[in-house]
Structure 1
């Protein structure tokens, strides 16, 4: 990515940034890479204009650039992820509880949860682009075809295959209105973290789904379970033990929304980010816990703690 200064943007084009960021983040699972891709797309638009190219639809041009840059990024990232140490999770997009969050994240779809982004990893780069544009952002097939460089017929076939592969791993979502889901999720998350910090095993077990799974991402650089953990009792014991250890080191938690789901940011005694924990809640229970402690994936949130490294 170019990483150079801001591209020339009109006010209308700057308004496209939230959508463009959401597409790029959905493609890459990385906040930093998504921001770089969006900036690169605007730079390409600026260069095209200076070269005298007539661009009738700037929004479509930018969305196409972001999609194709995302496909290229994923093709190179696949090699790196094959050698990734432990469980891979996306970089968390965090909004403190009760705050609207950064403007560039305003259109980040409720569908781009940690669990959903992990499922998207099973798709090829082009499948991921087609599926996400169609399923998450509601693009019509002609627009999906234009953005990916495929034919409309091909996009329909790609989407059907991708949807079939993703459907098997997706949980049914709570059909209640979003405000109601958020309120219930916040309350359950509050009780969840209180029980974990207080060592209340019975309360924790009552909040975990029978098929709950725990994913931890330390990237080989921070203390984390290197493989998915299942079974409610194992997860509850692990959570209670983990909270006991980090609290002894001065770590505390603050409620937050993580990729559109309730969760918490863990801070050390100096206020540095130690980890981010997101909860996938449905049907009044926690179906998945996603804990990101890899320091490389936390830097966009502020100064990063070394407490996870020293606790190894």
Structure 2
């Protein structure tokens, strides 16, 4: 096979909705302040007994069911996460056990918010090389475990959830070449502090300037590598960090007016590695992105790292 393609998607979010009004009772903030700076209105928060593995398995089960494949068909399972507390067995191995996937290679990948697009590229490379014919790629995060609920600048951002994709080897390259990299000189801009009791922290203004000034050219590069112009895109799904970043970044791509731009951050908050597959799965489920259309996926965050590729919708 000369390429791979996304054949099915799935997502999962916890039941609890945390509104801006709820946050007003927890920290010195208000709805107008949050919306003006982030665009976020609500976010989902997992219960104490709902783990990263629980959410990853729920999203993966939906994607696998939608694909029409059996668990035995899956040869690779990769979970992108930076919030899982389980180190061994990996979250991917736990997902494989729950879904009764018998013999896949399973591993977790931590590239923070860029994790899902990084994992998707890694799986694409494996399928192109013949290491597997079908793979599960999952982004899953319980960012509420990492929130400092006394810090009004960061706790308002974070949410929990998972998104998953089944990809298969294909005669056609329907997952485009990845544009990825990092700027390690800025690795303190987004970070987890206190390793044994980690808390999310970031330099918000520095990240905003970087994302809006330097990343549009890299996002356009992913389109160039796929052999398509930004004006040919049907949709753009970026990391759902902040609505202001999403709108500034996509504006610089000079898209058509009818391009579908994911704005799931408004209702889900920043779910780190889960944000791209979560937003993409919702758009496809709702019919806003029909089958067979080119969509740019582009994720960025801690590292500072980035990864993006153009896919064709399943």
Give the structure with the larger strand fraction.
2
**Which structure carries more relative contact order (alpha carbon 8 Å, separation 6+)?**
2
| TM-score normalised by the chain length of structure 1 | 0.31
| TM-score normalised by the chain length of structure 2 | 0.31
